[in-house]
Amino acid sequence: MAPRGDGLLSHDLLPGEKGPQDACGVFGVWAPGEEVAKLAYFGLYALQHRGQESAGIATSNGEQLLVYKDMGLVSQVFDETALNALTGYLAIGHTRYSTTGASTWENAQPTLGATAGGTIALAHNGNLTNTGELVDLVAERYGAQRRGELARGNTTDTALVTALLAGDPDHTLEMTAREVLPRLRGAFSLVFMDERTLYAARDPQGVRPLVLGRLERGWVVASETSALDIVGASFVREVEPGELICIDADGLRSERFAPVDRAGCVFEYVYLARPDTSIAGRSVHSSRVEMGRQLAREFPVEADIVIPVPESGTPAAVGYAAESGIRFAQGLTKNAYVGRTFIQPSQTLRQLGIRLKLNPLREVIRGQRIVVVDDSIVRGNTQRALIRMLREAGAAEVHVRISSPPVKWPCFYGIDFASRAELIATGLSPAEVGASLGADSLGYISLEGMVAATEQPVAQLCTACFTGTYPIELPPSARLGKHLIEQNELPLGAPEDGLHTLVATTGGASALEQP
């Protein structure tokens, strides 16, 4: 069997050095006459940066729903044969990084469930905060029968939502969604479907992005506008916080299930989203360039060149250079073809891990006073190794500038940071962090400067990872955590004797079929 994704971001620089891991990417399309599986494939390809552990696509031809999913990158999971087998006129897709539940095939998405009138497939970006409450609700509703994905070993909050949306014989999926969605807390951008209808829903805070696009013969929903671009869809608008959208043969209809209480994730602007995406009408690239300009205003320094940590630090470095008048240079070369290696390096090579992906241009760096611009510092090990490498290449001075404030608090809404004890900024002042890294100076952008660069009101942003102020109320710590469902015995009994049967193949495909 071919090697599968190892769950590391493609721009992780040190083995075992965990940066801020992305949420997930979701995509949905309703387009009769189009090859919807291929549209979903390329949509997920554009969203690969949001999750690299597993990928999956579900399609329907109006009568039968099929899903194909497996561990690994989008390009590893799918080939022409798999995509040609996924026929139909509507599809959803998902690319995953695990924020709840382990990185296993059972937890890959889309998830499946049997409804009264057919089948539901669901994909989720975000992280729910009332998972414990939902476990109790599933047990209350279905008693001794463990339904669908939960019966097959799925330990994610997404499986709980799928079980709840499966509903009962007296309700359609749409009716059930109206009842279930207001009971969810936390971050959720959902795309889901039955045999004939595509649905999209977003939490009342709009923590994670979700957008609506138009095709000549249909509609698209996706995590980012860049996924619309790749499939030739025109941007229509955001899916509004607290909105449920339904798309079928009768067209598009929309309703509110909760009032808007906007708190979009500011870290999407800093790091998570692609630079060619727009969020809430603001270009992510322009935001990052402005963050760099603001950094130069807040933390000027006499230097010879400004270099980015590729690729995430590049727009901010461009802004810093433009504002300061210091020459921009490419001082680090990135090996674009080393997304992952499945060969374990020797201990000697492991100590040089950063050089696997970045190598200094010595003729650019030697004798220069350098400003190095990066998007964030989590543990600090990557920056420490990078500074050491630049000094070995002959840098006269190394000044580090960071286009976000110190990360001091964990995220419970879909980003998997290191634990608070591992965050270098938790116990040290900026000056102490700089000394620990071996930098000549260190400057973090101010919270006010970062927010201003997004052109969004601070009251409409979530800044919890920087401030510790969480816009969505959190449950007690005993009911929080990535492995909550795995660590706690579900108050559910044996698997149900359902109306539908799961058929799985070794290739990662599965279908829900009437027996």
For 20-73, write each residue's pLDDT tens digit.
555 699 999 999 999 999 999 999 999 999 988 899 999 999 999 999 999 888
| Residues 189 and 322 occupy one common structural domain | no
Residue 22's pLDDT is what?
Answer: 53
Asked whether residue 8 is domain-assigned, the answer is no
Task: Confirm whether residue 411 is marked as ligand binding.
Answer: yes
Residue 334's pLDDT is what?
Answer: 84
| Residues 135 and 213 occupy one common structural domain | yes
State the pLDDT confidence band at 345, using cuts at 50, 70 and 90. Answer: low
Residue 105's pLDDT is what?
Answer: 64
| Residues 214 and 312 occupy one common structural domain | no
- Alpha helices of 187-279 — where are they, by DSSP H? 225-230, 267
**Which of 230, 263, 296 represents a domain boundary (last residue)?**
263
Task: Confirm whether residue 246 is marked as ligand binding.
Answer: no
Asked whether residue 443 is domain-assigned, the answer is yes
| Residues 113 and 220 occupy one common structural domain | yes
| Residues 194 and 306 occupy one common structural domain | no
Task: Strands of 249-330 (E only): list them.
Answer: 251-256, 264-265, 278-279, 282-283, 305-308, 327-328
Residue 509's pLDDT is what?
Answer: 42
Mean pLDDT across 460-469: 96
Residue 263's pLDDT is what?
Answer: 98
Q: Which two tokens stand for residue 21?
A: 């891991």
Residue 382's pLDDT is what?
Answer: 87
Higher per-residue confidence, 450 vs 107? 450
**Which of 212, 231, 263 represents a domain boundary (last residue)?**
263
pLDDT of residue 284 exceeding 90, the answer is yes
Residue 369's pLDDT is what?
Answer: 98
| Residues 81 and 215 occupy one common structural domain | yes
Please report where in the chains the tokens 């591992």 appear, as a residue: 422
- Which domain covers residue 247, as residue numbers? 25-263
| Residues 327 and 203 occupy one common structural domain | no
Mean pLDDT for the chain?
86
Residue 168's pLDDT is what?
Answer: 72
Q: Which of 24, 71, 316, 358 is catalytic?
A: 24
Mean pLDDT across 186-193: 97
Asked whether residue 340 is domain-assigned, the answer is yes
Asked whether residue 482 is domain-assigned, the answer is no
| Residues 236 and 368 occupy one common structural domain | no
Helices 131-142/157-165 angle, 10° precision: 40
| Residues 305 and 164 occupy one common structural domain | no
State the pLDDT confidence band at 462, using cuts at 50, 70 and 90. Answer: very high
Q: Measured between alpha carbons, how far is residue 329 from residues 284, 295, 297, 312 in Å?
A: 22, 17, 19, 15
CATH number at residue 348: 3.40.50.2020
User: Could you report how far apart the first and last alpha carbons of the chain are, in Å?
Assistant: 31
**DSSP symbols for 101-121:** S-SSGGG-SSEEEE-SSSEEE
Higher per-residue confidence, 351 vs 311? 311
Asked whether residue 423 is domain-assigned, the answer is yes
Q: Which of 80-89, 129-138, 478-487, 492-501 has the lowest mean pLDDT?
A: 492-501
- What would the pLDDT profile of 381-408 be if each residue is shown by its tens digit? 889 999 999 999 999 999 999 999 999 9
Please report where in the chains the tokens 């994704």 appear, as a residue: 5
Residue 14's pLDDT is what?
Answer: 53
Tell me, yes or no, if 246 is annotated catalytic.
no
For the chain, percent of residues with pLDDT exceeding 70: 81
- Residue-wise burial string across 329-364, b where 16 or more C-beta atoms lie within 10 A, e elsewhere: bebbeeeeeebbeeeeeeeeeeeebbebbbebeeeb
Asked whether residue 492 is domain-assigned, the answer is no
The answer for residues whose C-beta is within 8 angstroms of residue 421's C-beta and 6 or more apart is: none
Asked whether residue 13 is domain-assigned, the answer is no
Distance CA 208, CA 114 (A): 27
Mean pLDDT across 483-504: 43
pLDDT of residue 6 exceeding 50, the answer is no
Say how far residue 445 (Cα) sits from the centre of its chain: 24
| Residues 210 and 330 occupy one common structural domain | no
Residue 500's pLDDT is what?
Answer: 35
**Which of 419, 435, 454 represents a domain boundary (last residue)?**
454
Task: Confirm whether residue 312 is marked as ligand binding.
Answer: yes
Q: Measured between alpha carbons, how far is residue 114 from residues 358, 426, 515 in Å?
A: 48, 46, 12
CATH number at residue 90: 3.60.20.10
| Residues 228 and 371 occupy one common structural domain | no
Backbone angles phi, psi at 483, to 5 degrees: -110, 35
Task: Confirm whether residue 375 is marked as ligand binding.
Answer: yes
pLDDT of residue 457 exceeding 90, the answer is yes
| Residues 242 and 294 occupy one common structural domain | no
How many independent structural domains does the chain possess? Answer: 2
Distance CA 227, CA 277 (A): 9
- What would the pLDDT profile of 347-383 be if each residue is shown by its tens digit? 666 556 667 778 999 999 999 999 999 999 988 988 9
Q: Which two tokens stand for residue 497?
A: 């004797």
